[in-house]
Amino acid sequence: MRIAFACLLFLLFTTPIFAQQFTVSGKITNDAGKAIPFASVYIQNTTHGASANSDGEYSLQLKPGKYTIQYKAVGYKQESRTVDAGQNQTINVTLSTEFYQLQGVTVGGIDPAYAIIRKAIKKRKTYLNEVKAYTCEVYIKGLQKILDAPKKFLGTDINQIARQIGLDSNRRGIIYLSESESKYSYLYPGKVHEEMVSSKVSGNNRAFSFNRATDLKVNFYENFEDWEGISLRPLISPIADNAFFYYNYKWLGESVENGKTINKIRVIPRRAHDPCFEGDIYIQNDSWRLVGVNLYITKKANINVLDTIKINQQFVPVDDKAWMTSTIRFDFTGGIFGFKFGGYFISVYKNYDLNPTLNKKDFNEVLRITKGINKKDSTYWDSQRPIPLTLEEKTDYKKKEDLAIKHESKAYLDSIDHVNNKFKPINLLIGGINLRNRYKKEYYHFDPITGTVQFNTVQGFNLNYKASFTKQIDSVNNRYFKVGLDMGYGFSDHRLNAVAGGTIPVGDRFTLSVNGGSDVVDLNNLQPISSFANTVHSLFARENFEKFYQKQFINADFKGRITGGWQGSAAVEWASRTWLNNTTSYSFTGNDIYTSNNPLAPNANVALFPKNQSLKIMLGTSYDFSNKYETYPNGRHYLPSPYPTIALNYTMGIKNILGSDVDYDQISANISQADISMGVYGKTSFYVGAGKFLNTNSIYYPDYSHFHGNEALFYRAALNSFLMLDYYTYSTRTQYLEGHFEHNFSGFITNKIPGLRKLKLQEIIHVNYLTSPELKNYYELGAGIRYLNLRVLYGQSYNSGNNIRSAIRISLSL
């Protein structure tokens, strides 16, 4: 104890000595006296630096000593100042506009920019791969503002929401302000690990910053910049291997910086609507490397939601051969549904180590955010942030801090719940009734009545009403306990059904679900047609596609992640199963005859199978060949794998236990992957599955292998869905092989057609295949377009080369 106490005293008395720092601060302006936003400030021959804020103000923390500070901004002449850091100092700096001298604009009528770009493209792979590993520290600040907003939106009072989140009376102001610091590691090829060491979010004392160094990464030495969500298509780098197909270039002149000649080159898209950047890039003579970029993209490039994105990237030499990013800044503006917004994200990189000792295993964890990093006080941030806060940002932090304290109080949460939990008759019809107790983290949900009314020929008009209760029982790992009740009644068959169940977490990786009751269920366990679609087709077109049976059951399902990309499940179910007859022939078009509820004998009212009991065990496992994950205070979150997922399933029907009549063994396997990037040509998805019954000593139709067929105009799009396959006829009790291929061109074709390009349509092609003893060789070809979540396809189906059918199919995912 005395040793520990002595060490503590030593730290208390010596820390101020070793931590003593002085501040050099000031403002960076241009020749006209206007602020230069986000100019770089670096200590010469190091990667320790800072950045000015949007008002041109900077602040640099230095230990005692003599330093040469360099001030730099794209398009301005670099300035240096020598300081003796023995006390706090104010140094204001004026940067003059860089003069790029033109010396012979063309050579043989060809702009010299093309020769420079050719040399830069030739060196692209060298600079892409020259640094095999590095570590650095990254500071990120993000700010988003509402610039304009309507008073009301879809009946919601935006003024009220604006007041709650701290906007002004005109519904304008900052809606997101956050800072973070991270330790960032890179290991060739493409492995990254980021550990957030501090986080600050305006208005939320418990939240963690959304800022991620990986999300702000941009590397123009790559052929493409794939910005998912912003652009449907990858954006072409100005020095990509095929850049001359997409860009024109103009040499704007040269200047000298630190004894090196820098070329300024204007980047101009050849075609207005290609996924290309515009603006200027800066390339050093002799080495032909990028030393700065100042680019932008606009709506012309068919980006989503945003109007303009500006990208400013600056580099600094870390050693004799390598230049690394010093700052990256994204500025953006956009608008949707009357809301206009703008903002920026800026990252400052420092303290590079190009020869670190790294362990490959550490890179399975892509991101680590630990508890407590969002608790650091203002004194810490004042000493650490490399970009001073503006007055607006200081005000926002203060105002939102007061709001956060209020919003986390029990009185405030109860008051919000009191308002939101008030009964509104409209909720009975739309949206349902939701009762919340935010303080206790309890939630009740009751379905809207409009979603409960359905129709089918077995039950007639029927009600299926659901209610649930959810409670958070583990705030650290964000785990919930949930129970629910689903009750149904058929007005034609007069059957009352009810299913109750619950789910509870087991440890931090598994869940256990138990369900039981009586229900009327689809004969095809994949449920390829929705109850709503079947209702519409039955009542308006007399097409009763969906077929049913009665199931009284109890089951238990235990599933979760075993380790990394390996998941597993085990389930057991006992059920009593009864085939059902049609009980009504009603429709809005008259009382003509429907097909029977037996899909194999549509014109005969005969039972598909006798009443039976079933006890079966189901085992499943899958692996996605990736162990990448992110660690948060509430646990691990595994990332989507860039590799295919392989799944294996086994089902065993057990006879003579609990009266069970079934006796069979079935095994199936599949391999699938969605959205495989093909660069500018879009994305590909595929699914290949196969299955076989090892024995069928006693088996009934619900136990067959079923397929994701479709006969309706509207269908459920899935990786393994067919466009025109019968829902039930070709279900098999033997063996099968199926394959599905989809390619989405992501606007590669329609973007070249005036008028259509504004719709941002995506072209899709489909190929589906199935073979089994019952079907031989069945395949489908389809082509169509996708707009947001709406798909419209035209397809044709063939069996052993003979055309069976052609149809239009529509899918809408909500």
Per DSSP, 601 falls in state S
Strands 235-236 and 224-225: antiparallel
Mean pLDDT score, 23-42: 88
Q: Which of 561, 554, 468 is nearest to 506 (CA)?
A: 561
Q: What is the pLDDT of residues 317-345, one digit of tens each?
A: 887 778 999 999 999 998 888 888 899 99
CA distance 432 to 442: 17
- The number of angstroms, rounded, from the C-alpha of 804 to the middle of its chain's C-alpha atoms is 40
Residues in the chain: 814
Question: Is the pLDDT reported for residue 290 higher than 90?
Answer: yes
Please count the CA atoms within 13 angstroms of the CA of 412 that sit on its side-chain side.
Answer: 9
- CB burial of residue 761 (10 Å; 0-12, 13-18, 19+): buried
Predicted confidence at residue 440, as pLDDT, reads 80
What was the pLDDT predicted at 349? 92
Confidence of residue 475 (pLDDT cuts 50, 70, 90): low
Q: What confidence tier does 1 reach under pLDDT thresholds 50, 70, 90?
A: very low
> Among 61-75, 320-334, 426-440, 480-494, which stretch is predicted with the lowest mean pLDDT?
426-440
Record the pTM: 0.84
Q: pLDDT grade, residue 207 (50/70/90)?
A: low
Q: Which amino acid is at 551?
A: K
Looking at residue 11, its pLDDT comes to: 30
**Alpha carbon distance 250, 489 (integer Å):** 73
Checking if the pLDDT of 165 tops 80, the result is: no
DSSP structure string for 540-554: HH------EEEEEEE
57-61, 85-89, 407-411: which is most confident: 57-61
pLDDT for res 509 = 85
**How far is residue 738's CA from residue 528's CA, in Å, rounded to a whole number?**
16
pLDDT at position 20: 62
Domain spans, the chain: 2-94, 452-538+549-627+650-657, 662-814
Give residue for tokens 């429709």: 587
Distance CA 249, CA 114 (A): 7
In a 3-state reduction of DSSP, which class is residue 701?
Answer: helix
Q: What is the DSSP letter of 276?
A: B
Place of tokens 């640094």: 131
Nearest Cα neighbor of 134 from 304, 443, 354 is: 354
Residue 678, both tokens: 């093909």
Is residue 15 very low, low, confident or very high in pLDDT (cuts 50, 70, 90)?
very low
With beta carbons less than 8 A apart as the criterion, state whether 573 and 615 touch: yes
CB-side neighbour CA atoms (13 Å) of 780: 29
> What is the sign of the dihedral through the CA atoms of 7, 11, 17 and 19?
positive
Q: Which residue has the tokens 């509430």?
A: 634
**Alpha carbons 766 and 786: distance in angstroms, whole number:** 12
Question: pLDDT above 70 covers what percent of the chain?
Answer: 94
Three-state SS string over 69-80 comes to EEEECCCECCEE
- Is residue 180 within 8 A of residue 380, CB to CB? The reply is no
pLDDT in the model for residue 2 = 32
Strands of 30-88, DSSP E: 40-43, 49-51, 57-62, 65-72, 79-85
Number of other residues whose CB lies within 10 A of the CB of residue 570: 13
Long-range contacts of 593-598 (CB under 8 A, 24+ apart): 594/457, 594/538, 594/542, 594/544, 595/544, 597/457, 597/458, 597/544, 597/547, 597/548, 598/547
Superfamily of domain 2-94: Immunoglobulins (2.60.40.10)
- Please report which helix (H) or strand (E) contains residue 557, including its range: strand 548-563
